[in-house]
Amino acid sequence: MIPVCRIENLPEGESMRVEAGDATATIAVFHTDGAFYAIDDTCSHQDASLSEGWLEGCYVECPLHAALFDLRSGEPTCLPARKPVRTHAVTVVDGMLYVHPAVRTVPGEPVHAAPEEAVA
């Protein structure tokens, strides 16, 4: 798991980019609608950073082409994006925000879920 920041450093309506560190992907973390969400930072349509996108409720709008992604599922709700981005588990422990990067699935390899953490 990757420490992101103290929760007071990611106020409502803000986002942050974190490097997964193992070449998994860059991850965008959002604080919106009273909850934290994490998805892949790179838009599935073209090279754009979703952490720079426009937040509306549980949706983020890609800054390049206005594709909307549901932060809960990673699914695009409209064109031009057609492929989902991955979602990642987020936990808070003692006021610290952590992201658990979903394991990139490699064909033929077993998939291990990220270890579950107790949410404080």
Query: Which residues contribute to the site for another protein (CB under 8 A)?
Result: 46-49, 52-54, 61, 63-66, 79-80, 82
Spatial separation of the C-alpha atoms in residues 4 and 19, rounded to whole Å:
9
| In the complex, minimum distance from the CB of residue 36 to another protein, in angstroms, rounded to a whole number | 19
Residues paired with residue 29 on neighbouring β-strands, in sequence order: 16, 38
| In the complex, minimum distance from the CB of residue 64 to another protein, in angstroms, rounded to a whole number | 6
Q: Are strands 54-56 and 35-40 parallel, antiparallel or unpaired?
A: unpaired
Nearer to another protein, 74 or 91 (CB): 74
Spatial separation of the C-alpha atoms in residues 98 and 111, rounded to whole Å:
21
Q: To the nearest 10°, report the CA torsion of 8, 1, 71, 26.
A: 100
Nearer to another protein, 79 or 96 (CB): 79
| In the complex, minimum distance from the CB of residue 54 to another protein, in angstroms, rounded to a whole number | 5
Nearer to another protein, 66 or 93 (CB): 66
